[in-house]
Structure formats: structure tokens, C-alpha cells
Amino acid sequence: MQESSDVAAWSVFHVRLIFLIVIAAYFMDIIDASIVTVALPTIRTEFAASIADSQWIYGAYTITLAGTLMLMGRAGDVFGQKRIFGVGLVLFTVASFTGGLAPSLLSLIVSRLAQGVGAAMTTVTAFAIFIGLFAEGPERNKAFGYITAILSGGFAAGALAGGVLTTFLGWRWVMFVNVPIGVAALILSQKYLPVGKGWLQNTHLDVPGALTVTSGTILLVYGLTNAAGVGFGSLLTVAPLLLSVALLAGFLVIESRSKAPLMPLSFIRRGSVLTANATALVLTSVVGGIGFIVPLYFQNILGYSALDSGLLTLPPALIFFIVGGWGASRMVNRLGPRKTIMISSAFIALGTLVLTPMSPTGSAFTLIPGLMVWALGASIGFTAVNIAAVAGTKHGEEGLAAGVVNTSFRVGFPVGLAVLLTVGSAFDPPSTAAGVVAGFQVAMVAASLLGVLGFVLALRLKDVKPQWGNPESGAAPAP
């Protein structure tokens, strides 16, 4: 029996419970991202690591997460979402525990690599389950808003918890905190998620396509992460980026000839899938760059503690929680994804531009207005881009759609970090605090231009008007 048939017969209580399990998977990923970012300066001090080396604590996780998303999404379609989801939870939980015990920077980075693979398995299958759980249209849009609200709360909780745990218990507890969440999610998922044998009963996994796209994406993120530390002119950046281009080009050739492609090229060409994913990459690149630069400015330049830095993220997090949770879906239902993303991009461009008055002797509160405007734009944009990227997804494509859009979002983070840090250091070498801040200011201008690029891409989006609540979709109505 297909999983979609099971979904249609579920009770409202069952739908809500599965939705909570889906959210738990995303919550672990988002809390891990924010909690580790706040703890980075403390980890760097304990291991006597440079800024370039310490970024691999975040970069290692990003590389394997982004690199394996598409593979794991399609693996869920073939082998069953529940199976891949459960294995991912186990891997993520164990890696979190070993990361907390890490005796060296290298061992911590290895654990973060494993965490990234586990997170890819859980988040992409959770997203695929979500797509099949709610019928396309207002109900799914509303559920997207709830996810944005709860994950925004998770980001704020992670930032605050990172500050509290790092200050009072030590940075290792930012890793250990994932363990009880992972165990609870594993128990619930094994009990309540549908068994399902996979959507594509007679399809094998496209191994050549999987190898090329995974290795190509990993090399792309690796090269971009190197670019953030040593610039785009370094061999450590150029070599992996060129290899990435060759592998990803090979992937497209393989997919065009494969009888059972990992990513059918017809899917990318459908509607606004390609434009929506390009927009996701651009808008997320702004978040990736700012999410790295602002905590560094608060702690390394202004001298704020990890706890204070975490508390300063609460105002924009509230914007994400309220606007992203309850306002974004209503905007999409009323205006459509295209106009909503245009408004989002405009606010992102304006908000990042308002961040430029930072100075070596200034106050963190100077940045709050800009962060609030930026958060307003991002909170409605993320929901709208997700809706546009999965619009028109057919039965059996849930994992594929989830893998593609999540890859776009994940690759955007290192793209933004690499571009903004490279631009900033090129205009004013960071030899002094004043030089670092001057570079940050140039980076904020570059981030604003990326917001403008997001606006231009949004102009090309086509608003899809599906048959709301089509019974053939096999999805359950939202509770």
C-alpha cells in the first residue's frame, strides 16, 4: 500500500503527531546551527584555533549536509522515507555525543561531518513527508508558516541556549543537548511514522548520478568554505571549484541519458522550479553571511559575551516567529509567491544596508533596526520560496523536490559567507579592528546587492495556481 493512501486515512491527531515529528527533525538541525555559532569563539579559544580553522566546525557540517541532501531525498523515495529518517536520527545523535567528547579540533570536525550526513537524512525525508502530509494550497501554506514560526523559535532558543550552556556548563553541552531530542524523535518516529516501502517500487537508485552530484556538491561547498578563509584566488579554492563544475556537468549528462535519473531534468524545467531554487540560493546567501559576521562583530569586536550575543538575536527571532509563522502564509495566499518574494527581497536589501553604521567602538543596539527589517524580509521570503519550489510536485517526487530545494538553501550559506568575507577583506585588509569592521561594512553593501538580485529573480517567477485540495494528491487536509 502506498504511503499517500495511508495519509488520507489518518486521523487529525495522527497528522498533527507526524507533523510534530517532522518539526523535531528540523528543530535539531536549526538549533544545532545557531547554538554552535554562538559557541564558536569559546571553542576556538580552547583549541587555540585560528578563525580560518574554527570555521570548519561550521563548514564541515555544512559540506556533508548540503552534499548529501539530494541523494538522501531520492533514497527516501526509493527505499522509504521512514527508513532513511530513522538511520539519520541515529547517526546525528551519536555524532552529537562524540562531538561533545571531542579531545581535539580535528575530532570535533570529524563528528561534525557525520552530523551533517545525519542531518541531511533527517531533514530531507522530514520535508518529503511534510509535502505528502498536506494538500497543496492554503492548508500547506499555513503549515509552512507554522514550520517557519517554530524553527525561528528554535533558532532563537539555540542562540540563547548556546550562550547559557557555553557560559555556565561549557561549549561541549551545545553538542550534548541534541542527544535527548534525537532519542525522543527516534522513539516517536519508529512508532508513528508509516512503514512504507518507498514511493518508486520498480526504480533503482541512480548510482552514477548520486556519486557525481554528491561529490560535486561537496567539492563546491568545500571550495566556497576555503574561499571564505583564503579568498577565491587560492589554489585551495580554485581546484575544488573547477572539479565541482566538471562533476556537476557530468551529472547533468548522466541524468539526460539515464532511464531512472536521480533528478529528471524535466522536473527542473517545470514551472518555476529552477527560478525558485535560484532565488532560495541567493536569499539564503545573505542569511549565511550575516549569520556569521554579526556574532563575530558582537563578540570579537565589541567584546560581548556569548550569552549577550545570544540575547541580541531575540528581537529578529520574534519577527521570524510572528511574521513568518502567521503572516507569510497569508501573504502568499493573498498575493502569490512572486509578489511575496519581491517584497521579501526589498526588505532584505534595505535591512542589510541599514547594518552598515557598525563601528569598532559602537553599540550592538545600532544594528537592531537593520536586523529587524532584514528579519521581516527573510521571514516571509523563506516561506514563499519553499512554497514556490515544491508547487506542482507529483506523487513519487516528494524526496526529489525536498532534496533540490534544501540543497539550494544549504549551498546558499557557504556562498554568502565566501562572497561577503572575500569582498570585505579585498576592500580593507583586516589587520586591525577598524579594518575588520570596514570590511564588514563593505560586506553589508554586497549583501544588499544580493537582495536586489533576489528581487530580479522574483520577477521571473510564475505563480502556480493548483487545484486546491485535489483529492488525487493523496494528502491529508491540514488540521
Highest mean pLDDT among 32-41, 70-79, 334-343: 334-343
Q: Is residue 477 a part of any domain in this protein? A: no
DSSP string, 12-49: HHHHHHHHHHHHHHHHHHHHHHHHHHHHHHHHHHHTT-
Length of the chain as a residue count: 479
Would you state the cell numbers that stand for residue 283, as one nine-digit string? 536569499
Q: Mean pLDDT over all residues of the chain?
A: 78
Angle subtended at Cα 26 by Cα 107 and Cα 17, rounded to the nearest 5 degrees: 130
**What pLDDT digit, counting tens, does each position of 263-279 carry?**
777 777 776 788 888 88
Q: Give me the CATH number covering residue 306.
A: 1.20.1250.20
Q: Average of pLDDT values for 318-344? A: 81
Residue 149 inside a domain? The answer is yes
What's 276-329 look like in SS3?
HHHHHHHHHHHHHHHHHHHHHHHHHHCCCCHHHHHHCCHHHHHHHHHHHHHHHH
The verdict on residue 471 lying in a domain is no
In a domain, 475, yes or no: no
| The pLDDT of residue 108 is above 80 | yes
Contact predicate 285/415, CB 8 Å = yes
Given a cut of 80, is residue 394 above it in pLDDT?
Answer: no
Rounded to whole angstroms, the Cα distance separating 22 from 28 reads 10
Name 134's bridge partners: 476
pLDDT reported for residue 31: 73
User: pLDDT value at position 5?
Assistant: 44
Whether residue 476 is contained in a domain is answered as no
Q: What is the pLDDT of residues 144-157, one digit of tens each?
A: 777 777 766 666 66
Q: Is the pLDDT of residue 456 over 60?
A: yes
Give the pLDDT band (50/70/90) at residue 8. very low
Residue 202 lies in a domain: no
- What total number of domains does the chain contain? 1
* Half-sphere CA count of 257, side-chain side, radius 13 A: 8
Cα–Cα dist 425/429, whole Å: 5
Does any domain span residue 165?
yes
Which helix (H) or strand (E) segment holds residue 6: the answer is helix 3-9
Point out which residues pair with 476 in neighbouring strands. Answer: 134
- The pLDDT tens digits of the residues spanning 192-208 come to 776 655 444 445 667 78
Q: Per-residue confidence at 92, pLDDT binned at 50, 70, 90?
A: very high
89-98, 217-226, 337-346: lowest mean pLDDT where? Answer: 217-226
Instruction: With beta carbons less than 8 A apart as the criterion, state whether 260 and 208 touch.
Output: no
- DSSP-based three-state secondary structure for 353: helix
Alpha helix stretches (DSSP H) within 47-80: 51-79
Q: Is 50 exposed, middle or buried (0-12, 13-18, 19+ CB in 10 A)?
A: exposed
Q: Name the most confidently modeled range: 19-33, 131-145, 334-348.
A: 334-348
Looking at 128-132, 146-150, 287-291, 296-300, which range is the least confident one?
146-150
Residue 242 is predicted with a pLDDT of 93
Say what the pLDDT of residue 464 is. Answer: 54
> Is 469's pLDDT higher than 60?
no
% of the chain surpassing 90 pLDDT? 11
DSSP 170-225: -TTHHHHTHHHHHHHHHHHHHHHS-----S-TT----HHHHHHHHHHHHHHHHHHH
Name the residue range of residue 148's domain.
3-195+207-465
Nearby residues of 343 by Cβ (< 8 Å), 6 or more positions away: 331, 335, 377, 380
Digit-coded pLDDT (tens) for 344-377:
999 999 999 998 888 888 787 888 888 899 888 8
User: What is the CA 71 to chain-centroid distance, rounded?
Assistant: 16
pLDDT tens for each residue of 433-445: 778 888 888 889 9
**48 pLDDT exceeds 50?**
yes
- Over residues 368-385, the pLDDT tens digits come to 888 899 888 888 888 788
The answer to whether position 473 is within a domain reads no
pLDDT of residue 269: 75
Query: Is the separation of the CB atoms in 55 and 418 below 8 Å?
Result: no
Distance of alpha carbon 380 from the chain centroid: 15
